[in-house]
Amino acid sequence: MERLQKVLAQAGIASRRQAEVWIQEGKVQVNGQVVTELGTKVDPEKDHILVKGKSIQKERKRTFLFYKPLYVISSMHDPQGRKVIPDFFRAIQERVYPVGRLDFDTEGLLLVTNDGELANHLLHPRFEVEKQYVATVKGVPDEASMEQLRQGVYLDDGLTAPAQVKMIHKREEDCKIKLTIHEGRNRQVRRMCKAIGHPVMHLVRTRLANLTVKGLKRGEFRELSASEVAGLKKLLSGERKQKRQK
């Protein structure tokens, strides 16, 4: 048995929040009865569910690795008419949505899926999913500044968790550094670099958990194989067990 709004979201017809709105508005029926109470439990395999008079069908779960270009909004729509995720997935029949977000001025790896459970696990702080970035920053940080990034930087929302940091290329006026973090604060990498006096000029997310953007060009995507999805779920399961043991 699962919550009705979760079942609707997993069917790919709406986000969980939109599904909750429809339930409260009386637009959802279960076995011929209008349901308006959030949290109502249903069996998606046995119960007959209608939304606005139409029967829902369970979608097969699909997950894509997408190389988000610069100046694309990590959302399903944008009031200002800028490019959004669905613009790149028009040929995909299922309603897929981004897992989390990459900033408008950041490019790189973004997962796009209709697997709500997987998305929730990837986003939940307790799983501490690693995210790796390559940042081109102004100037060249000295070793003390690099160590500050590794140990944690004080931001307006608190001290950041320790990060893995490595210099990968430097010139007189700028350099590239690789940062691996597991937190998901808003514009975190940019704020960390700015805090040590080396603002970010260009930022790319190159890895999420065990997945990388290798082989993809900007705007391209590929579907994860069954073994990749299984590996990702196994990794998340392993991290969850590790946290419980601590």
Q: Domain range holding 25?
A: 2-55
- The domain that contains 43 carries what CATH number? 3.10.290.10
Residue 7: band (very low, low, confident or very high) from pLDDT cuts 50, 70, 90: confident
Residue 110 falls inside a structural domain: no
Residue 241 falls inside a structural domain: no
Nearest-angstrom CA–CA distance, 147 and 203: 20
Nearest 10 degrees: CA dihedral of 104, 106, 108, 112? -30
Partners of 245 in beta bridges? none
| Residue 130 contacts residue 180 (beta carbons within 8 Å) | yes
pLDDT in tens, 167-201: 999 999 999 999 999 998 999 999 999 999 999 99
Residue 239 falls inside a structural domain: no
| Residue 83 contacts residue 218 (beta carbons within 8 Å) | no
Which residues are marked as active site?
A: 103
Whether the predicted pLDDT of 112 surpasses 60: yes
Task: Pick the last residue of a domain from 15, 37, 55.
Answer: 55
DSSP 8-state assignment for residue 88:
G
> How open is the CA angle 17-225-214, to the nearest 5 degrees?
95
Whether the predicted pLDDT of 213 surpasses 80: yes
Residue 168 falls inside a structural domain: yes
DSSP 8-state assignment for residue 84:
B
| Residue 22 contacts residue 183 (beta carbons within 8 Å) | no
When mean pLDDT is compared across 52-61, 86-95, 130-139, the lowest value belongs to 52-61
- The domain that contains 139 carries what CATH number? 3.30.70.1560
Whether the predicted pLDDT of 125 surpasses 70: yes
| Residue 222 contacts residue 216 (beta carbons within 8 Å) | yes
Whether the predicted pLDDT of 241 surpasses 60: no
Whether the predicted pLDDT of 240 surpasses 70: no
Domain count, the chain: 2
Residue 90 falls inside a structural domain: no
Mean pLDDT of 8-25: 86
Structure token pair of residue 125: 């702080």
The predicted pLDDT at position 232 comes to 92
* Local structure of 176: helix, strand or coil: strand
The predicted pLDDT at position 239 comes to 53
Mean pLDDT of 59-76: 94
Mean pLDDT of 82-93: 95
User: Comparing C-alpha atoms, which of 149, 148, 124 is closest to residue 135?
Assistant: 149
Residue 136 falls inside a structural domain: yes
Residue 81 falls inside a structural domain: no
- Average pLDDT of the residues of the chain: 92
Residue 63 falls inside a structural domain: no
Q: What percent of the chain has pLDDT over 70?
A: 96
The predicted pLDDT at position 80 comes to 95
Residue 15: band (very low, low, confident or very high) from pLDDT cuts 50, 70, 90: confident
Residue 174's φ and ψ, nearest 5 degrees, are -160, 175
The predicted pLDDT at position 245 comes to 44
